[in-house]
Structure 1
Amino acid sequence: MVTSTNIFSPIVEDLALLDKNLTMMVGARHPILYAAAEHLFQAGGKRIRPAIVLLIAKATSTNIKAEHRRLAEITEIIHTASLVHDDVIDECQTRRGVLTVHSTFNTKIAVLAGDFLFAQSSWYLANLNNLEVVKTISKVITDFAEGEVRQGVTHFDTTLSIDDYIEKSFYKTASLIAASCQSASILSNTNITTQHNFYLYGKHLGLAFQIIDDILDIIGCQDTLGKPPGSDLKNGNLTAPLFFALQETNELHPLVEREFQNKEDIQQAIKIIKQTNGIEKAKDLAKEHVQGALKALENENTSEALLTLKLISYYILNRIK
């Protein structure tokens, strides 16, 4: 079994340094903002995004530069800021098994904390003094907004296609991973082809990650998810397992049309999805994107860091075993 613990062993000290730096970087003057930010980082998380940045740095450079480390930290801050806003929009009470920022403080503080983290990440990004990286990462923040708007206006919309779902998943998840992978390569002064390969790696990895997350929303339990199963469905965020299940059965349509308003609707929907091939087809879709990620690395120089990047693809699939 591939786990996050053994995958990241080549950069365990680098990740410890990252954790130490994160709370220092968001050192807000106001104690409430600082407490909100500290609450987020103490909640943990697997740090997959910054870990990938550090591994690409090792794969493309003789050593990890200070700029690479800062990019890894910026990536995690942007990701965390997006989670704060996501939780407010979706009205989630818990994240990673702990209370969300708006549950601990209030919605206003949560929105401001998210805005503050985005602002801090932008400031540190500008101080990298690399225009290409600034342009690449800045686009991610607009992608987040577009992804949230798209999701917001398509709640409970069963007419969406799998292609629409993939496009939304790119904006919400894969964009940041793709851009940070490309940026890590840019900071190593690699050629355009290598930069593009790492972008494709991040894009496909991010899409696979989101699809697996959506499968776990159906088959996971609250202890591992850190939130109740079916939370995405309840919020109207229709995902790959449901779209594939809708192609097989009409039983789900009335549940979605009434927006899962009855107390037992979510559990009934999960039961129906499990009886179809929806989950298997979603797994197959995730596997396709994992293969896309691995293909993007085919022509890159083999190293321990590159092998670790490939292992991450399998780790993502192993999350549902």
Structure 2
Amino acid sequence: MKDVHTPGLGLVRTAPGGGDDAWRVYLKKTYLKTASLMAKGCRASVILGGCAQGEVWKELAYAFGRNFGLAFQLVDDVLDYEAGEATLGKPGGADLQLGLATGPALYAWEEHPEMGPLILRKFEQEGDVELARSLVRRSSGVERTRDLARSHADKARELLQGLPESKARAALELLTERVVTRTW
């Protein structure tokens, strides 16, 4: 994830000034890291469950899992900042130390252009991580990332409306709410 350069998957290093490209790479990595597993697991459950309804249910399950997985990882990226500060007494932003720019940092870049060079050099210079943490704290990056997570969770819940009412659907609906309100 640190040195993404896989043209076959559409992942390339971010060019200077490439905020949009950085978002594309980040969301693609988020999908590949987390959401693809959840999406394919949901699709597999339909197949292994012997659903006779065909492709529609498999694709609905996949789309649910994809959106749920994106919401899950986006919240995880938020918690990297929130949980570190609130529960661990640490400054948060562990991903920054790994050279990774997640949603909060990318949103901070939109509000603080000085974040761009830090992201492009993967926070490698002395003081980069501390400055990036400060810029994220002074931005709406954490809140906006949580809002993006909520929109994916809402889309996942919306997809569930295509299923018949059942205890399983109700449990999945509850899960889509809990994924964005979790604190761990």
TM-score, normalised to structure 1, is 0.48
Native 8 Å contact 1:155 1:235 kept in 2:
no
Q: Quick one: structure 1 residues 155 and 170, their matched pair in 2 at CA, closer, same or farther if it must change by over 3 Å?
A: same
Q: Which has the higher helix share?
A: 1
Alignment partner of 1:216 out of 79, 85, 90: 79
Letter in 1 for 2:36: S
5 Å-filtered alignment, 1:1-321, equals 154=13, 159=18, 160-190=21-51, 191=53, 192-221=55-84, 229-320=92-183
CA drift at 1:259:
3.5
Q: Quick one: structure 1 residues 150 and 319, their matched pair in 2 at CA, closer, same or farther if it must change by over 3 Å?
A: farther
Q: Quick one: structure 1 residues 320 and 276, their matched pair in 2 at CA, closer, same or farther if it must change by over 3 Å?
A: farther
Native 8 Å contact 2:157 2:176 kept in 1:
yes
TM-score, normalised to structure 2, is 0.80
Greater displacement, 300-309 / 196-205: 300-309
Which entry has the higher C-alpha Rg, 1 or 2? Answer: 1
| 1:146-176 C-alpha deviation (Å, 9 max, x unpaired) | 7xx877x638976224233222211111111
- Give unpaired runs (5+ residues) of structure 1: 1-85, 91-145
Distance 2:82 2:57 in 1: 37
Distance 2:145 2:111 in 1: 13
> Matched residue pairs, number?
176
Q: Quick one: structure 1 residues 150 and 224, their matched pair in 2 at CA, closer, same or farther if it must change by over 3 Å?
A: farther
After TM superposition, what 4+ stretches of structure 1 lie above 4 angstroms from structure 2?
A: 155-158, 222-225
Greater displacement, 285-294 / 228-237: 228-237
**What SS does the corresponding residue of 1:220 show, helix, strand or coil?**
helix
- Give unpaired runs (5+ residues) of structure 2: none
Q: Quick one: structure 1 residues 170 and 261, their matched pair in 2 at CA, closer, same or farther if it must change by over 3 Å?
A: closer
**What SS does the corresponding residue of 1:273 show, helix, strand or coil?**
helix
Greater displacement, 248-257 / 278-287: 248-257
